[in-house]
Structure 1
Amino acid sequence: MLFTFKVELTMQCEQRITRINGQDILANLSKIKPTLVERYERWHGSQEHSDSSSPGPLTPQTYQEDPPIARRSRVEPFPIQEEDQYASVREKARERRIYDDTRGSSSDEEAKRRDTVEVARRRQADEYARRQQDDPRRREDEQRTREAAALAYRAREERGPVYGPRPMDGDAIVARMDEMRISNLRQQPSPNEDARRRDEETTRRREEEATRRRLDDRRREEAEGIMKRQQEAEAAARATRTQLNSAYVPPVLTSSLQSAYSQGQEGIAHRQREAEEAARVARQEFNASGLPVSAPPNMISSAQQAAAMREREESVRRQHEAEAIARAARPPATPTSSSALAAPTAVSTSQYQFLESHHRQGVPIMPLESPSKYEDDSSTDVSVTDGPSMPRQTMRRDKEPEQTPSKPPRRR
């Protein structure tokens, strides 16, 4: 396939060269035709006198024997191989004609013409020798071209018809090569273009570096500002804590507060012991009789009222005690730019004295828990812990009178 393409390309190039040479020949035909006619006339004249052993010089009468039109009508092929035989005859005829034309001229001019004729003769001899050397090579080239064309034709016949783009001829190939060369020249950057691109790249890099440097400086300034504000806030908080610690005086508990607190703790412990003792006595009675022990309704109602009253008093006392301790433990106010705190006030003990007098009036002390708080709890039921099991309905029936309140007794 590659060989066939090469052969076709060679044929196209040779055809193009042949067309160019043919066009040159047609363009120069007006100049070549007189020369060919003159050569033929000379050869024809030499042929007429070739029969004689010593042919005489050519005269104008010889040219007048045959008209030019008649001589051109009897044109015969001019043998190239006999050119060397008639070269001397033609040269003599030309010299004779030149001599006849220049008869009567000066000797200097005649010498110059002879030199010109000699130069022309040598040039023609060189041209003839070169042609003799080029003929074998031209014949070999023509033979190779014909063989390549025959091979290409046989290959095309064997391959069959090809439906595709037609092969490019020599003109198209040359035009395509010229276009490629021009495009390559256009694509190659000029030195000025390279310098301009380098300058633009350098400028762009400098701008990017300056922008990055500005952003880094801005971030660093923001970070420093944030850190500075944090340090200022920490310093202000530290100074505030130092002032509060230096101005804080721990509260001093008075003797009345201490005595009230100790009495309250003793009262709570005493009531817990009484409740435990009452529960133990009730459990012993139940074990001895086998039935649950129930207190009289009047005793139950009075005990409940006393317990509720004591619980309210105890809650009020604890609340006031906590408020007093909080006011005493509050640090003194430090003057600030925005506001000023009020100074702590003295704690009054009138409420605690009222509670102490109330306890001294003989109010019976009962447990803090309500007697009916754990009635439905089976884990603390006496019948479950200390005695034999009884039906739930029977125990509920026995407990119903206990849950029914009665009129409280009159106080004497």
Structure 2
Amino acid sequence: MSLNSPVKKPRKTLKEFIGKYFLEGQILEIEKEFAEKPSWWDSFHEKHRKFIALLIPFVFIQSIWILTAFRFDFFRLYPTRWQIPLTMIFGSCISGMTSAGGGAVAFPVMTLLLNIDANTSRDYALMQQSIGMSTSMFVIVYMQIVVEKRAILLCGLGSIPGIIVGLTWLDELFNELAKKTFFIAVGASFAISLYMLNSEKKRIHYQTIPEFNTWKALVLLITGYVGGICTALTGTGLDIVVFAILTLLFRVSEKTATPTTVVLQAINSIMGFYWRAIFEGHIPQLAWEYLAVTTPVSATMAPLGSFLGSHFHRLVLAFMIYALEYLSVLGFLATQPPWEAMAIGAAIVVCGFIFFVIIMRIGKRIQKGVEKARHPIVAIRQIRHLEMP
């Protein structure tokens, strides 16, 4: 063998592959330190905190549901309403694991496969996420998984007027087909852009937004407002919009962006549920019935998804988004929509793709400025644990 011939890297074993992509480990806040010898409870709590975080919301929600189910006989609904509980075994897990809320699974299944109207599907998504993603949010907060707190505050403030405006005035401007097309097209364009971003080898990304300032705060407020409007139309959308800005523009790692969007979508869903139920009072009976039969599924699978997702490599989380959006597009095409809808959807995909690419390039320029302003050694230390090997 020639001395100049390249040395081939040994292939990773199955154990190494699983360890890298599925057992990477959680990124948590600073671990609790005890000045003195910890008590038995402190030791027990630190050792079993992961399981306690899952157990608390599970016991709380399931106890309330069981009492309510026997009082109003929810069990009679399962023979005719079994489709969505079965779907949400997967959908709720995805909602806790990725930046796509439970509505990203429920909305296309209900509208495309079950032919349920978009408003009922939207209302159910808001209701289901209010429970499922709230339990996921509890796990994230209790486990002290790292999130972008400034994004939660500012995007959350912007999303409240966004979802109110969307539900009150903009919702009636979109028909059934327009909502389906918009939902599928925006998700597809984002998935393509995210794939392009992750195709950059040795991409530098940050745990939180670097060099935070006023204009970045304003961007987060606007992002929250736009995301709130998207959620008002399809039951989800704030999570995808915020995830796009965090990852493409501010170059925040998917490991931070994902739990951040879970918290935001949970809060926004609660607001949307409250507005529809109290101020508008137009939630269809079918949405309530589906909520009744899927609550135990959501309360179990969503926090489990958050727990599992916090251990996965960021590329695994990104791949799940690719797969989800790909299946949504296939489902939309399988319904044989009119050519006008497909043409509009294609146009939205192209425009959305161009927008995300522009955002991605602006983010790259911002990142260059951040790296120049930092001392190289300090910058490497801060991102080493997030870089791809």
TM-score normalized with structure 1 length:
0.17
- The structure having more radius of gyration, on CA atoms, is 1
Structure with greater contact order relative to length (CA < 8 Å, sep ≥ 6):
2
TM-score between the two structures when normalised by the length of structure 2: 0.18
